[in-house]
Amino acid sequence: MEPAPASLRQVMDYCSRKKYQLPLIQRIELALQITDAVSYLHSLTPPLIHGNLHPDNVLLTSSFTPKLTDVGITLKRVFFIASTILSSLMETQHQQMFLLKLATFSV
């Protein structure tokens, strides 16, 4: 059974307390894997923007594989934005129909 993952923040704090620095290659690998995950989210249709990416929201497995967390807040934003756009489009459509009826009535 794999131990519970630690957040990147916990690892950074631990390294700071112990005056230890992760090897450069390991830091670069972590950064590349995190950017790959963000790039994947952005490539979805519609794109998913994390919007709250920080060390507390990156969990590391025992093999130091990063996993992004707290994407739920982003889904709420996406649904809110989509509903706002849809509402705006419906208002515009109703306004156009009203103007068309008004123009027809005036003629």
pLDDT digit string (tens) for 27-83?
Answer: 999 999 999 999 998 888 878 778 888 999 999 998 889 999 887 655 555 555 666
Dump the DSSP string for 29-69. HHHHHHHHHHHHHHHSSS-------SGGGEEE-TT--EEE-
Per-residue confidence (pLDDT) for residue 106, from 0 to 100: 44
**Which residue, among 68, 75, 88, 86, has the nearest Cα to 46 in the 3D structure?**
75
CA–CA dist 76, 58 (Å, integer) = 19
End-to-end CA distance of the chain: 78
Cβ atoms of 14 and 2 within 8 Å: the answer is no
